Amino acid sequence: MAKITVPASDSIVRVRAVDTTLKLLCNTYPFLKPVIAGHEQINFSVVAFLVENKALGKTALFDVGGRKDYWNYSPSWIARLRRSVVGIRCDKTIDEVLIENGVDTKDIDAVIWSHWHFDHIGDCSKFPPSTRIVVGPGFKDSFLPGFPTNPEAFVMESDYQGHEMQEISFSDDFKIGPFRAYDFFGDNSFYILDVPGHAVGHICGLARTTPTTFMLFGGDACHFGGAIRPSEHVPLPESLDAQAAGLDDRFSSPCPCSIFGACHPAPTEEEKRKTPYYTASDHPGSAYVDAKLANMSMKGLGEFDADPDMFLCLAHDSALMEVLPLLNDKPDIDVNNWKDAGYKDMTRWRFLNELPKNNGERGRPPLVTGFWRYGERKETFDG
């Protein structure tokens, strides 16, 4: 497969991964198709990325996670959460995580929302007015004004009031891979990509971590590794070293990958090894505004995933939390050395932990089993 072509440059950004502390347990059917027996619910963590262009003295935060007081979302979001989320927990807002680990929010020039969903926009009232909010195309027309001026709105006015809002405008003349691109800092160190299908204005980030290696912040263009892997260019191997691949202790080593074959919907063994387990859900109430377009975008993500110099990082991939050094407990460690450190190989097949085995054994248990309010009083969306 051809490598992804990116303009040559020696300009890089420093990237640090942040655990937003938000954990979700959701029904699978709004996100993935088909629903595999034994994987009717899906665990979501939420990772964000701190992006520093030291040469220009600029810092951006890609995605923000959720808010600790999730019961204070807009009424429209509360109603949707009741329908689609089984469990939720958020111990800290991202500004707390940053400040506790030596990052002054006054130094963050821009917060980039991959899209407008509650688990990515956080509570930006916690950031100073000097921090601008960056959104994808169509955001302003679709979501402003927010709640309460528009009582039906999902985004709240408090999420953006007092901040400059920059809506990215893309040109068909500049693409990276199949996606339209925008040079965010103007020096080819960090790009915003137009990756549609999941939500209006959905964007991704492409960070140059060395002159020749990149991290792709995938947001929610794909919700699960098994929706882009395996593929023709990244086939499922005959077996895996369970420890090196990050498989759970319940798997022997070497682990024959055939034990995950029965749950794959493809009809032949060859197709099982070379096609993803899932596509985007088109179920009523789907998390994708356009499932057909989302599948095209996921195919494009697969092109990046197949390039050895590209590291695809999906916002809800819990494997990233298990492997990457996180700002939360290692604030001085960045992930720019991801290729030499082997992080891509260590995370690529961990999604298999979530899937049922051929003997009917289910995958990982839920990370979250109910709704908790952080503090003394328990909150619930029941009733």
What tokens does 251 get?
A: 């798997």
> Which pLDDT score is estimated for 240?
94
Binned at pLDDT 50, 70 and 90, residue 21 comes out as very high
Q: Which residue has the tokens 């005959």?
A: 238
Distances (CA, A) of 186 to 26, 55, 111, 170, 183: 39, 12, 17, 14, 5
Mean pLDDT, the chain, whole residue set: 93
Residue 331 CA neighbour count, 13 Å, CB half: 9
Question: Tell me: domain 14-354, CATH 3.40.800.10, correct?
Answer: no
Query: Does residue 113 contact residue 61 with C-beta atoms inside 8 Å?
Result: no
Residue of higher predicted confidence among 76 and 82: 76
119 φ, ψ to 5°? -85, 10
* Domain coordinates in residue numbering, the chain: 14-354
Amino acid, single-letter form, for residue 191: Y
Distances (CA, A) of 318 to 19, 77, 170: 10, 24, 31
> Which pLDDT score is estimated for 1?
61
The arithmetic mean of pLDDT across residues 152-179, rounded, is: 97
318-330 core/surface letters (b: 16 or more CB in 10 A; e: else): bbbbebbbbbbee
Query: Residue 228, SS3?
Result: coil
Would you call the peptide bond into 196 cis, given omega within 30 degrees of 0 as the criterion? no
> Which pLDDT score is estimated for 250?
86
Query: Does residue 152 contact residue 257 with C-beta atoms inside 8 Å?
Result: no
pLDDT digits 0-9 by tens, 36-81: 999 999 999 999 999 999 999 999 999 999 998 888 899 999 888 8
The arithmetic mean of pLDDT across residues 234-258, rounded, is: 92
Binned at pLDDT 50, 70 and 90, residue 84 comes out as confident
Q: How many CB atoms lie within 10 A of CB 182?
A: 20
Distances (CA, A) of 130 to 51, 67, 139, 140, 164: 17, 21, 21, 20, 8
> Which pLDDT score is estimated for 371?
56
The arithmetic mean of pLDDT across residues 230-241, rounded, is: 94
Query: Does residue 24 contact residue 88 with C-beta atoms inside 8 Å?
Result: yes
> Which pLDDT score is estimated for 208?
98
> Which pLDDT score is estimated for 381?
44
The arithmetic mean of pLDDT across residues 238-267, rounded, is: 91
d(CA 377, CA 379): 6
pLDDT digits 0-9 by tens, 58-67: 999 999 999 9
> Which pLDDT score is estimated for 358?
84
The arithmetic mean of pLDDT across residues 241-265, rounded, is: 91
pLDDT digits 0-9 by tens, 317-374: 999 999 999 999 999 999 999 999 999 999 999 999 999 988 778 888 877 765 544 3
**Closest of 2, 36, 23 to residue 279, by C-alpha:** 36
pLDDT digits 0-9 by tens, 264-279: 999 999 999 999 999 9
pLDDT digits 0-9 by tens, 111-131: 999 999 999 999 999 999 999
The full DSSP string for 238-301 is SEE-HHHHT--TTS-SSEEGGGGSTT---SSHHHHHHS-S-EE--STT-S-S-HHHHHHHHHHH
d(CA 74, CA 79): 9
Amino acid, single-letter form, for residue 40: E
Query: Residue 110, SS3?
Result: strand
d(CA 47, CA 343): 15
d(CA 67, CA 64): 9
d(CA 232, CA 251): 25
Q: pLDDT above 90 covers what percent of the chain?
A: 84
d(CA 271, CA 284): 28
DSSP H or E run through 18? strand 14-27
d(CA 370, CA 50): 30
3-class secondary structure per residue, 195-215: CCCCCCCCEEEEEEEECCEEE
**Closest of 223, 212, 171 to residue 194, by C-alpha:** 171
d(CA 39, CA 27): 9
Query: Residue 77, SS3?
Result: helix
pLDDT digits 0-9 by tens, 222-235: 999 999 999 999 99
